[in-house]
Every structure is written in C-alpha cells, then in structure tokens.
Amino acid sequence: MHNIKLPIFYQPNEVVFLDDNQNFLNSLTIVLPNEFHYKNFTSPETCLAYLKDFFSKKANEPRRNIFVVKDEDEPGMELNLPAIHQQIYNKNRFKEIAVCVTDYTMPVMDGIEFCEAIRDFNCQKILLTGDAGHDLAVRAFNNGVIQKFILKDSPEYTKTVIDAIAEQRLNYFIKQSQTLLGSSFETNPNQLQFLFNAEIKHYFDQACNTKGIIEYYLLDEHGSYLMLDMHGRATWLYIKDEKELDRTVEFLEYDNAPKDVIDKIKKHTHIPFFFSIDDFETPFENWSAYLQPVIKSVRTENTTYYISIMAGDDTPYKLEKPILTYAQFMEEL
C-alpha cells in the first residue's frame, strides 16, 4: 500500500489515558498542549467498557460519504471531494478516539493484555513501560498489538510521550486516508501524487505551525487544502502543478480572457483558485481576486508544483455557514 505523507484530512481527536496511578495521570495531562483533549482512566475494566461502547456505536454509524461510484459499468471509485471538507460542519468531528496510551504495570490486567483486548479497535496504541516490560513491549510491537512503546526512564519522558501522541495521531489519519484511497489508487495509481512528496509535507507542516492550524481538509485533486485554527479562522493553501496551469492557459486563450490574467498564469507567478461554484463563475475581468501569488515551487521528476497560501478576512473565499470551532468544543467539555 502507498505510504502517503500527508493525510487527506486531519482533526484534533480524543486521547485516552490508562494508568492506575492517578498522580501520574495528573502530572502528564496537565502539560498537554491546548490542541489535545483527553479522558483519564485508572481502571482497565472501566476504560475497556468505555472504548467498547464508543467503537460499537461508531461501527453502527453511516460511513463517511467520501467516495462515489464513478460509473455503473466500472468498479472503480473516485473521491467525493466536497464530502471531505464538509466534515467541518459536523459538530461531532472532535469526538473520535485517535490514540490510547496505557501503562504496562497494572493490577488485574496489564497494558499488553489491555491492548490485546482493544486490538481490533481503530485507534493507535502506545504502551508505557519500565525496563522489566521491555522485551514484552518489543514483542507486542512486532505483533502489531501496539504501535509504539516508551520506556519510563527515557530522557525528557513527558516530552517523549507528547511527541509520540502527536506522531500516532497523524498516523491515525494517514491510515484513514490510505484506507479511503485504497480502491481509488487501484484504478488510478498516478493520482494525488502530492500526498507522497516529502518537500510539500515539510512546507505544509511549516504553514500549520506558523498559522496555528489544528485541522485541515483536502479541497481538490491538485492538493489545495482548507485549514482551520482553534478559533475556526480559515487559511487556504493552494497547489497546482504546471500541467494544470498550462491547461488553464489554453482554456483562457480559447475564451479570449484578458491578457494580464493569462500572463500571470502562463509565467507561473500566480495560481487561479476557486472555492465555490459562484467563485468559478466569476467573469474573467474580475479574476484578479482569485489569482494568488506563488510563494513556493516544488520540482519533482514528473512536474513542478506551485503553492500559494492566504489567510484572514481579506480573502474572497467564505465558508458556507458557521462551524463549531475547537475552542468552543473545549469550552463545552
């Protein structure tokens, strides 16, 4: 299966902590970043019941309508792109459980036994263990029972745990994306190649850190994303490859669009981006607001990607309706 680097969507989700030492849980969760929300358990039985209830209800929910059938005579599926960013209007989107962190040494049921019990649940498992459980943790990792283990005497232990949660939360959405894209890649293996590009992923991460982005959603097959911070402020990242820009130029020249509009796209100094149908139907002479300056280019073996980014209320792009922001969600917890 393709190892994508950039998921097609990402949201801050719940982290479940299990440790029979309440003081340890308090000391750990008090230093978690603001974009983490969590639930603590000191009893494996209580935590297991909570997870079983959550995932049994989730199994009965309708699957995200991310795919639509391409053609009745063809088995291939294609992405329903609007359904991806429409998730921002789902008030329950932050309630998914992405990561479970459990201690190894506990009475009644140890951490590996607990992870075995939740093995089939769709979340990433992190085991915290001392030296005594190291070999067992390695075996559990190799057998796919856990996705990560951390020794309690690791340097900067708290930071190591927080970094591991962030890593595994990203892996959760990468796995989700790979599952959703599996059928689509079988019929069109050359699509969405920007998802595999390390340089694009690096720039994307820089933009997220600079803008305080905590959730994002793929908008089109070229690589554009809608990105939101804790307060629901939108940042728009646009990606177009040179082949798409060249096709746009041919279209504009055929329809006798203004020369200055054609030149900006032809010289690859600007990217045309339209979020809504109304945006796209804007007359050519009013395209200026939708031509965004290129701020980075990434050359690959097959093409060059051109990237632009805009944020704030001065952009022409607007969300369809109000959303529940992560800040509001946290206040309601």
CA–CA dist 214, 198 (Å, integer) = 20
What is the residue-level pLDDT of the chain in tens, covering all 333 positions?
Answer: 458 899 999 999 999 999 999 998 998 888 888 888 999 999 999 999 999 999 998 866 655 567 665 555 555 557 788 899 999 999 999 999 999 999 999 988 999 999 999 999 999 999 999 876 788 999 999 999 999 999 988 888 999 999 999 999 999 999 989 888 876 666 565 678 899 999 999 999 999 999 999 999 999 988 999 999 999 999 999 999 999 999 999 999 999 999 999 999 999 999 999 988 888 889 998 998 899 999 999 998 889 999 999 987 778 898 989 999 999 999 998
Report CA 5 to chain centroid distance, whole Å: 10
Residues 85 and 236 sit within 8 Å (Cβ to Cβ): no
Among the listed residues 183, 207, 202, 161, the one whose alpha carbon sits nearest the alpha carbon of residue 74: 183
Residues 247 and 214 sit within 8 Å (Cβ to Cβ): no
* Kind of pairing between the strands at 234-241 and 304-311: antiparallel
Q: 97 CB contacts (<8 Å, ≥6 apart)? A: 13, 14, 15, 16, 51, 54, 55, 123
Residues 97 and 13 sit within 8 Å (Cβ to Cβ): yes
Residues 119 and 140 sit within 8 Å (Cβ to Cβ): no
CA–CA dist 139, 142 (Å, integer) = 5
CA–CA dist 123, 169 (Å, integer) = 9
Per-residue pLDDT, 102 = 97
310 is written with which tokens? 């805009």
Among the listed residues 130, 332, 305, the one whose alpha carbon sits nearest the alpha carbon of residue 222: 305
26 is written with which tokens? 């308090």
Please classify residue 313 by burial: count the beta carbons closer than 10 Å to its beta carbon, then call 0-12 exposed, 13-18 middle and 19+ buried: exposed
Per-residue pLDDT, 72 = 56
Domains and CATH numbers, the chain: 9-188 (3.40.50.2300), 193-330 (no CATH)
CA–CA dist 115, 121 (Å, integer) = 9
Please classify residue 315 by burial: count the beta carbons closer than 10 Å to its beta carbon, then call 0-12 exposed, 13-18 middle and 19+ buried: middle
Q: Kind and range of the H or E element at 131?
A: none
Q: Which runs of E-coded beta strand occur in 130-191?
A: 148-151
Per-residue pLDDT, 185 = 63
Per-residue pLDDT, 297 = 95
Task: Tell me the backbone φ, ψ of residue 74, rounded to 5 degrees.
Answer: -125, 135
CA–CA dist 293, 307 (Å, integer) = 8
CA–CA dist 315, 302 (Å, integer) = 31
Per-residue pLDDT, 44 = 96
Torsion angle (degrees, nearest 10) of CA 262, 263, 267, 271: -50
CA–CA dist 243, 266 (Å, integer) = 11
Report CA 324 to chain centroid distance, whole Å: 18
